[in-house]
Amino acid sequence: MTGQQDIKIKVRNLTKSYGDIIVLERVSIEVVSGSFCTIVGASGCGKSTFLRMLLSQEHPTTGEILIDDKVLPREPTPDRGIVFQRSSVFPHLTVEDNLILASEFADHGFSARKFGAARNDSRDAVTETLETIGLAPARKRYPAQLSGGMQQRLAIAQALLKKPDVLLLDEPFGALDPGIRLDMHDLLLSLWQERGMTVFMVTHDIQEAFKLGTRLLVFDKTRHDPHAPEGFGATITYDLPLKNGDGQDLPDPSALFAQPADQDIGANHA
Amino acid sequence: MRLINRRPSRATAFALAAIPFAATVIAYAVASHFRRQENPADKLLPSLEQMLGTFWRMAFVPERRSGDLVLWVDTVDSLWRLGLGMGVATSFALIIGLLIGFIPHARAVLSPYIAAISLIPPITILPILFIMVGLGEASKIMLVALGTAPVMTRATAQAVMNIPRELVIKAQTLGASTWQMMTRVVLPQVLPQLVTAVRLGLVPAWIFLISAEAIASTSGLGYRIFLVRRFLAMDVILPYVVWITLLAYLLDRFLLFISRRAFPWAHLQGESL
């Protein structure tokens, strides 16, 4: 990969606790610009919490996260895009209006709304994006009228509108059928190769993590106190460089952490 | 097939819906018939024809003294008070509800206050209003507004807080300011719920309106039925009650229709009443 000076994200000795419950402890990593980090771990291991801290939706209890050597702002900013498992697109806006919203925010501070010709121009301008994500025929529909896969394609396109340097994905394909997932992988990889942003993706599916990532981060607890199960937090137990698209010489997924991902069906609320 | 999987056709559903209404009318007609058979001058259960005649007279024959068409004067006055009161309450509920639901500091200031205010039985405020603003229109409008606004405000604030956190985060990553999120993300998603809050608020609003009119007024639907109560004029009271119910029903359906037209995205899933 690129040189030492290209470090995008630095995490230094990060801890996150809610009262007595320690979720994460001693997390330290450096991630070079343009990496595709996939994050796996057992349910409740704090991987989604880690992602939310990268987004500034939550804040570290101790330690710090640096982006381009600066401490993360205290609130979400346009340089970090996000795709959630669900509820990431605006239900009251049609597909094309979901995609012009960011430009409306930028161009019209007070009304945050475009009218007439300006709006039509903006709507025409997203046609290319709509074709990339295969939603051109559905541009006038509301999200509730789209399938789960179509909604997530829209969510990814929307997250990239502000051309973020960092794209965060929280189990984005967790609710999709296997066939649709493969299409989504292709879309995501092509967008990543085109834009070159740094990606963090939390997933339950360890095959998906191996397939997409250039770097695999496994979160797990290293210390257990049977009398206080919440007394110790999870940390990064494996940090594996992956060659994208090449699944060779990799350890057995089931050996990476105690609870196999396959048994972990449904949403992760960690 | 199981009972829960058997659905009536449109025509059947209509016929089924008519049964309880028809049964009520028939039961009334029979009871009225037997009472009048015993005493032709009975005032408690007047015949359907007599009520229809009285209603017709109130709607289309000018009153001898004032020359007014009493039904329409009453209806317009009452709807005006109701509409103005609900308009004030709705505006208040929308603005304060948005602030409480979306801005944590506004919530800290206003939420306990609104919660406390909403527990005051509104009718106890009526004498205060009569003393402070007099017996005119203002006291009735204010009673309707004060009686419905706190609950509608809390419903609106809750609707704002029920907007998925993900959407608010997403809007911030798209560069939205607080004001822009309020106008483009929160407000449009709350408006359908505000319509629902208005529909539910109309139920107590009618109660407050009729009460205020009954106590101090010179016109209005509530004034009329409490006025003629002194003469046991059931042939006026019963049609008026039916008329008020019909108005309330039409208002409710109208609001639902507006909501479906204006917010099609909010009615895409599930059945609603």
Using one digit for the tens of pLDDT, what is the confidence trace for B46-102? 999 999 999 999 999 998 888 889 999 999 999 999 999 999 999 999 999 999 999
Give the residue on B whose Cα is nearest the Cα of A91: B265
Q: Which residues of B touch A100 (CB under 8 A)?
A: none
A37: helix, coil or strand?
strand
With an 8 Å Cβ cutoff, is A80 touching chain B? yes
**What one-character-per-residue DSSP string does B65-109 give?**
TT---HHHHHHHHHHHHHHHHHHHHHHHHHHHHHHHHH-HHHHHH
Task: Enter the tokens of residue A25.
Answer: 């402890």
A101 and B184 within 8 Å at the Cβ level: the answer is yes
**What one-character-per-residue DSSP string does B142-207 give?**
HHHHHHHHHHHHHHHHHHHHTS-HHHHHHHHHTT--HHHHIIIIIHHHHHHHHHHHHHHHHHHHHH
With an 8 Å Cβ cutoff, is B167 touching chain A? yes
A77 and B173 within 8 Å at the Cβ level: the answer is yes
Residues of chain A with pLDDT under 50: 1-3, 247, 260-270
**What one-character-per-residue DSSP string does A159-214 give?**
HTTT--SEEEEESTTTTS-HHHHHHHHHHHHHHHHHH--EEEEE-S-HHHHHHH-S
d(CA B215, CA B126): 10
* B102 close to B182: Cβ distance less than 8 angstroms: yes
Closest Cα of chain B to A77: distance in Å? 5
How many CB pairs (< 8 A) connect A and B? 84
With an 8 Å Cβ cutoff, is B262 touching chain A? no
B175 and A162 within 8 Å at the Cβ level: the answer is yes
- CB-CB: which of A80, A90, A110 is closest to B173? A80
Residue count of chain B, please give it.
Answer: 273
Residues of chain B with pLDDT under 50: none
d(CA A20, CA A230): 7
With an 8 Å Cβ cutoff, is A100 touching chain B? no
d(CA A47, CA A170): 9
- CB-CB: which of A57, A109, A142 is closest to B169? A57
Q: Which residues of A touch B167 (CB under 8 A)?
A: 87-88, 90
Read off the pTM. 0.86
pLDDT score, position B271 = 61
Strands A234-241 and A215-221: what pairing? antiparallel
Q: What value of ipTM does the predicted structure carry?
A: 0.86
With an 8 Å Cβ cutoff, is B177 touching chain A? yes
With an 8 Å Cβ cutoff, is B265 touching chain A? yes
Q: State phi, psi for B232 to the nearest 5 degrees.
A: 50, 35
Q: What residues contact A187, with CB distance under 8 A and at least 6 apart?
A: A132, A133, A153, A156
Closest Cα of chain B to A32: distance in Å? 22
With an 8 Å Cβ cutoff, is A112 touching chain B? yes
pLDDT score, position B87 = 97
With an 8 Å Cβ cutoff, is A109 touching chain B? yes
pLDDT score, position B183 = 95
- CB-CB: which of B167, B174, B179 is closest to A102? B174
